[in-house]
């Protein structure tokens, strides 16, 4: 049974589905050729590596009692796991620390709060050579101590190549493989997301079952997906800025993950949408002013949860809010802003998840990936590459090479002196 509800009622006059349906046929044909393996990951363990994730998590817990997990990764190697861990929490006595950016201040402060003896380190880079990830890993391994590498480090990377794969062989580090056909922003259905779920005490199988629910529904009848895509395409000129407003603090990182998916996949050939993450009710007191009264170029994607944590209504410390439960207030906040969108004719849609659980997140994340595949076809761009990102990497490599040359020129002078 589906745990995801999509509300497109704003778009009362249904757009023509002919173009979107034809586009989905083409997108599905590309997926059938494994152009991006995410689509088959829920039903193919060679792609998801779900069994390997479960077995390794059990193995690690059996050999080492850890209280903290450090995940080192950036972009697609971290945004999915962060979204899942923040939303679902942990059912074990384990805290997670995410190191994404090579910011020395941030890393030093976070490491200072941890103890090497009880920390598990997970390094994630699909290519095995991501500059930021390797640089941060250098610092963390030095902090951890080389004697702990074999038992306290896990590598998630390409199955056969890359710096991280070679290093893992040298130090006999346990590894998990990311299928080459699955790009980073789609990799939450691989060990990138599944292994972290297992470490947190959640079922990676349940997550994939949620993803497969979405996959099965789309395969059986893609009408809802095509209607969604056609509605977005109709408003691509007047509402090119898409704001995902999540009415949950712990669920807000779903929007951060989606921002990369939507932006990096579709932003090509001067096409695409500007994706913005927002939080309700917090941003009703800040950026929503711009949405209502600023340039009319935005569409709101509301995300809510049916079965969130419920707390009893509080007493009368402040009479104006006496008897009002938090979950009731945030529901009223959402309804109010949705009404503003209706009265002000601001394009919007709504996604409702049944709760903060693995199945719901598997379903919504897979659905958003499938929508991205379809929108890429409609826009005439490849949703699986990232040429703009790759160009930046070329310039980073040039900068690193220049820095190495300067170090080589300075070092002999220091030795002589």
**Angle between helical axes of 50-63 and 191-199 (0-180°, round to 10):** 40
End-to-end CA, the chain: 74
Average the pLDDT over 126-147 and give the result.
95
Helix (H) or strand (E) holding 99, with range, is: strand 95-99
Q: What angle do CA 34, 128, 108 make, to 5 degrees?
A: 130
Note the maximum CA span of the chain. 79
- What residues form DSSP beta bridges with 242? 275, 299
- Give all strands (DSSP E) within 204-341, no chain letters: 241-246, 274-279, 298-307
pLDDT tens-digit readout, 295-310: 999 999 999 998 767 6
How much is the pLDDT for 398? 80
Asked about 166 being catalytic, the answer comes back as no
Closest CA to 68 of 140, 128, 10: 140
Considering the candidates 285, 407, 413, 416, report the single residue annotated as catalytic: 285
pLDDT tens-place string over residues 4-55:
899 999 987 667 789 999 999 999 999 999 899 999 999 999 999 999 999 9
Token pair in block for residue 320: 């104006």
Q: 84 CB contacts (<8 Å, ≥6 apart)?
A: 188, 193, 196, 197, 200, 202, 207, 358, 361
pTM: 0.93
* Candidate list 264, 359, 363, 377, residue with the active-site label: 264
How large is the average pLDDT for residues 210-237? 96
Judged against a pLDDT cut of 70, whether residue 138 lies above it is answered with yes
Residue 416 clears pLDDT 60, i.e. is over it: no
Q: How confident is the model at residue 410, as a pLDDT?
A: 58
Average pLDDT score over residue span 393-403: 77
Q: Which of 110, 235, 354, 393 is labelled catalytic? A: 393
CA-to-CA distance for 76 and 83, rounded, in angstroms? 11
Let me know if 393 is a catalytic residue.
Answer: yes
Phi and psi angles of residue 311, each rounded to the nearest 5 degrees, phi first? -115, 145
The average confidence (pLDDT) of the chain is 92
How far apart, in whole angstroms, are the C-alpha atoms of residue 374 and residue 376? 5
DSSP state of 313: P
pLDDT of the residue at 403: 72
pLDDT tens across 369-393, in order?
999 999 999 999 999 998 877 777 7
Residue closest to 204 by CA, chosen among 61, 53, 73: 53
Beta bridge partners of 122: 71, 154
- Distance of alpha carbon 386 from alpha carbon 336, whole angstroms: 38
Residue range 327-347: mean pLDDT, rounded: 94
pLDDT of residue 14: 66
Q: Confidence band (pLDDT; 50, 70, 90) for 343? A: very high
In the predicted structure, residue 281 carries a pLDDT above the cut 90: yes
- Taking the C-alpha atoms of residue 26 and residue 157, their distance in angstroms, rounded to an integer, is 30
pLDDT at 411: 56
| SS3 category, 249 | coil
Determine whether 348 is an active site residue. Answer: no
Torsion of CA 198, 126, 277, 296, to 10 degrees: -150
Q: What is the distance between the alpha carbons of residues 214 and 367, in angstroms, rounded to a whole number?
A: 6
Q: For 4, phi and psi rounded to 5 degrees?
A: -130, 130
Q: Give per-residue pLDDT as tens, 71-109.
A: 999 999 999 999 999 999 997 789 999 999 999 999 999
How far, in Å, are 49, 149, 250, 381 from residue 54 at the CA level? 9, 21, 25, 36
Write down all domains in the chain, each with its CATH number in brackets: 4-29+207-379 (3.40.50.10490), 37-202 (3.40.50.10490)
Tell me what pLDDT residue 71 has: 98
d(CA 189, CA 208): 7
**Phi/psi of residue 222, nearest 5 degrees:** -85, 10
Helix%, strand%, coil% for the chain, nearest 5? 55, 15, 30
Dihedral sign (CA 141, 146, 152, 155): positive
- pLDDT of residue 314 exceeding 90: no
Residue with tokens 């040359």, as numbered in its chain: 405
- As a whole number, mean pLDDT of residues 267-292 equals 95
């Amino acid at each position: 049974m589906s745990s995801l509800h999509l509300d497109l009622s704003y778009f009362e006059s249904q757009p023509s589905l002919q173009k979107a349906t034809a586009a989905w046929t083409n997108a599905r044909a590309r997926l059938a050729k494994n152009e991006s393996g995410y689509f088959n990951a829920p039903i193919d363990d060679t792609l998801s590596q779900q069994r390997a994730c479960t077995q390794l998590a059990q193995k690690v817990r059996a050999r080492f009692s850890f209280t903290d997990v450090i995940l080192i990764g950036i972009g697609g190697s971290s945004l999915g796991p962060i979204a899942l861990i923040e939303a679902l929490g942990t059912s074990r006595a384990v805290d997670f620390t995410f190191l994404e950016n090579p910011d020395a201040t941030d890393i030093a402060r976070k490491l200072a709060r941890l103890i090497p003896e009880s920390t598990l380190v997970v390094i994630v880079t699909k290519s095995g050579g991501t500059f930021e990830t390797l640089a941060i890993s250098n610092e963390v391994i030095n902090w951890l101590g080389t004697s702990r590498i074999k038992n306290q480090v896990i590598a998630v990377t390409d199955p056969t190549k890359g710096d991280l794969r070679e290093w893992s062989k040298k130090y006999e580090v346990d590894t998990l493989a990311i299928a080459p056909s699955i790009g980073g922003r789609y990799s939450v259905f691989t060990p990138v997301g599944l292994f972290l779920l297992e470490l947190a005490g959640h079922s990676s199988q349940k997550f994939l079952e949620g993803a497969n629910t979405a996959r099965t529904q789309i395969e059986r009848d893609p009408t809802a997906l095509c209607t969604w895509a056609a509605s977005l395409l109709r408003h691509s000129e007047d509402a090119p800025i898409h704001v995902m407003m999540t009415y949950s603090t712990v669920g807000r990182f779903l929007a951060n993950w989606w921002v990369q998916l939507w932006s990096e996949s579709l932003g090509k050939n001067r096409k695409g949408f500007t994706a913005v993450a927002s939080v309700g009710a917090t941003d009703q007191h800040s950026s929503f002013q711009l949405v209502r009264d600023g340039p009319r170029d935005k569409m709101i994607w509301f995300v809510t949860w049916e079965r969130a944590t419920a707390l009893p209504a509080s007493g009368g410390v402040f009479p104006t809010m006496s008897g009002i439960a938090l979950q009731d207030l945030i529901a009223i906040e959402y309804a109010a802003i949705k009404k503003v969108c209706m009265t002000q004719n601001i394009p919007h849609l709504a996604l409702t998840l049944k709760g903060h659980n693995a199945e719901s997140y598997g379903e919504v994340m897979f659905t958003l990936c499938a929508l991205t595949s379809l929108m890429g076809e409609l826009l005439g761009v490849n949703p699986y590459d990232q040429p703009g990102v790759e160009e930046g990497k070329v310039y980073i490599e040039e900068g690193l090479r220049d820095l190495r040359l300067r170090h080589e020129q300075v070092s002999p002078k220091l030795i002589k002196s």
